[in-house]
């Protein structure tokens, strides 16, 4: 029978640090997925996963048992990913070197991730979407990813981003408006 997350948390707090490995194993896939969607970069997403679980461990005493560990660590990861994205945006401003162009890196990632069944057209669409997503601010992008791709409510988004619900809502609106403008040329293709 599967041991409940809460029982494992207690065990870790009781001095068994390796029990935490079970929590990492259970939740790393979903944490990686959201980290990748927010950062848009495979290596950054791996780093976010490590950072999130490390912070989770260090803050474990503040974890309250009425929440699920999965939800809790997910929120931490969203925050780490948002910070990472913010840092990357700042870096990109100061560097125009090709290897540091996030859009370009992302396209390369998308290419290697694409299966053979993907058509040229769908790759083109994906690249345009990637570029459109890159045009958003880190907070707009994160809010949009959570709303649109992760199906999270405005309240959940606000909690994860530590902002007011109205600010979360506005971030989603702005993201949708910008994306629609950027992706308008695609409409003729569809």
Judged by CB under 8 A, the chain residues 126 through 165 that form the site for another protein are: 126, 129-130, 145, 147-149, 153-154
* 6 binding another protein? (CB under 8 A): no
Span of 45-53, 66-74, 135-143 interacting with another protein by CB under 8 A: 45-53
The answer to whether residues 21 and 81 touch, using CB atoms and an 8 Å cutoff, is no
Query: What are phi and psi for residue 123, nearest 5 degrees?
Result: -65, -40
The answer to whether residues 49 and 28 touch, using CB atoms and an 8 Å cutoff, is yes
How many Å apart are CA 25 and CA 56, to the nearest integer? Answer: 14
| Residues in 64-123 at the binding interface with another protein, rule: CB under 8 A | 83, 87, 91, 95, 97, 99-100, 105, 108-110, 112-115
Q: Tokens representing 108?
A: 């390369």
* 3 binding another protein? (CB under 8 A): no
| Residues in 24-43 at the binding interface with another protein, rule: CB under 8 A | 24-29, 32-33, 36-37, 40, 42-43
**What is the x/- site pattern for another protein, positions 169-188, by CB under 8 A?**
x--xx--xx-xx--x--xx-
Q: How far is the CB of 71 from another protein (least distance, A)?
A: 17
Q: Which of 100, 88, 106 is nearest to 48 (CA)?
A: 88
* 14 binding another protein? (CB under 8 A): yes
Exposure string of 73-93, with b = 16+ CB inside 10 Å and e = fewer, is bbbbbbbbbbebbeebeeeee
Which of 15/120 has CB closer to another protein? 15
């Amino acid at each position: 029978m599967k041991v409940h997350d809460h029982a494992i948390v207690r065990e870790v707090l009781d001095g068994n640090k390796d029990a935490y490995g079970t929590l990492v194993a259970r939740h790393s896939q979903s944490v990686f997925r959201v980290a990748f969607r927010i950062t848009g970069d495979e290596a950054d997403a791996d780093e976010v996963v490590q950072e999130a679980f490390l912070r989770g461990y260090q803050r474990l005493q503040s974890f309250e048992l009425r929440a699920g560990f999965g939800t809790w660590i997910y929120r931490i990861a969203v925050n780490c990913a948002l910070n990472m994205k913010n840092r990357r945006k700042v870096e990109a401003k100061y560097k125009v070197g090709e290897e540091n162009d996030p859009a370009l890196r992302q396209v390369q990632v998308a290419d290697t991730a694409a299966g053979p069944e993907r058509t040229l057209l769908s790759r083109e669409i994906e690249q345009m979407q990637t570029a459109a997503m890159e045009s958003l601010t880190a907070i707009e992008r994160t809010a949009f990813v959570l709303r649109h791709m992760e199906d999270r409510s405005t309240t959940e988004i606000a909690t994860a981003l530590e902002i007011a619900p109205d600010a979360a809502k506005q971030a989603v609106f702005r993201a949708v408006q910008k994306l629609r403008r950027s992706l308008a040329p695609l409409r003729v293709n569809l």
